[in-house]
Chain A
Amino acid sequence: MRATRPFASLALSALILTVLVAFWQIASSSGASQTGPVDAEYAALVGAAAAAGGQSPFPSPAEVGTRMLEHLADPFYVRGTNDQGIGIQLAYSLGRVLAGYALAALLAIPLGFAIGMSPLMYGALNPFIQVLRPISPLAWMPLALYTIRDSGASSIFVIFICSIWPMLLNTAFGVASVRREWLNVARTLECGRLRTALHVILPAAAPTIMTGMRISIGIAWLVIVAAEMLVGGTGIGYFVWNQWNNLSLADIITAILVIGIVGMTLDQALAVATRAVAYQD
Chain B
Amino acid sequence: MRRPFVSVEGIARRFPATRGAPPQTVFEDVWFGIQEGEFVCLIGHSGCGKTTILNILAGLDRDYEGAVVVGGREIDGPSLDRAVIFQSHALLPWLTAEANIAFAIRSRHPGWGRARVAEACRSWIDLVGLTGAASKRPAQLSGGMKQRVGIARALAVEPKILLMDEPFSALDALTRGTLQEEVNRIVAETKLTAFMITHDVDEAILLADRILLMTNGPQAKIAEVVVNTLPRPRTRHDVHHLPGYYDLRNHIIDFLVDRSRRLARTMPPEWNPRRVPEVRPALAA
Please report A residues at the B interface, Cβ cutoff 8 Å.
179, 181-182, 184-185, 187-191, 199-200, 203-204, 206, 277, 279-281
Contact = CB atoms under 8 A, between A and B. Distances in A.
A203 B80 contact: no
B64 interface: no
Contacts, number: 54
Nearest to A281: B93
A136 B158 CA distance: 57
B155 to A, nearest CB: 13
B139 A189 contact: no
B94 A188 contact: no
Contacts of B250: none
B51 to A, nearest CB: 12
B92 A200 contact: yes
B5 interface: no
B117 to A, nearest CB: 14
Interface string B22-35: 00000000000000
A190 B90 contact: no
B107 A189 contact: yes
A199 B78 CA distance: 18
Nearest to A202: B94
Nearest to A187: B78
19 contacts: A181-B86, A181-B88, A182-B90, A182-B92, A184-B84, A184-B86, A185-B86, A185-B92, A187-B59, A187-B60, A188-B79, A188-B84, A189-B107, A189-B157, A190-B107, A191-B107, A279-B94, A279-B139, A280-B139
B257 to A, nearest CB: 32
A200 B86 CA distance: 17
Interface in B55-96: 58-60, 77-80, 82-84, 86, 88, 90, 92-95
A186 to B, nearest CB: 9
Closest 7 CB pairs of A and B: A280-B139, A279-B94, A189-B107, A181-B90, A187-B78, A188-B78, A203-B94
A203 B94 CA distance: 7
A191 B107 CA distance: 7
Interface of B: 58-60, 77-80, 82-84, 86, 88, 90, 92-95, 103-104, 107, 137, 139, 157
B107 A203 contact: no
Given A182-B92, A200-B92, A280-B93, A188 B83 contact: yes
A185 to B, nearest CB: 5
Contacts of A200: 92
Contacts of A206: 94
A281 B107 contact: no
Nearest to B55: A184
A204 B60 contact: no
Given A184-B60, A199-B103, A280-B139, A189 B80 contact: yes
Contacts of A190: 78-80, 107
User: Chain B CB within 10 Å — which of A184, A185, A279, A280 has the most?
Assistant: A185
User: Chain A CB within 10 Å — which of B83, B86, B93 has the most?
Assistant: B93
Contacts of B60: 184, 187-188
A73 B261 CA distance: 86
Given A182-B92, A190-B79, A190-B80, 13 more contacts: A179-B90, A184-B60, A184-B90, A185-B92, A187-B78, A188-B60, A188-B79, A188-B80, A189-B104, A199-B103, A200-B92, A203-B94, A279-B137
B189 to A, nearest CB: 22
A164 B94 CA distance: 27
Contacts of A179: 90
B82 to A, nearest CB: 7
A204 B94 contact: yes
A182 B153 CA distance: 13
A206 to B, nearest CB: 8
A204 B60 CA distance: 20
A200 B100 CA distance: 11
A22 to B, nearest CB: 49
A188 B93 contact: no
B20 to A, nearest CB: 25
B107 A280 contact: no
Nearest to B87: A181
Nearest to A179: B90
B104 A280 contact: no
A188 B92 CA distance: 14
A187 B157 CA distance: 13
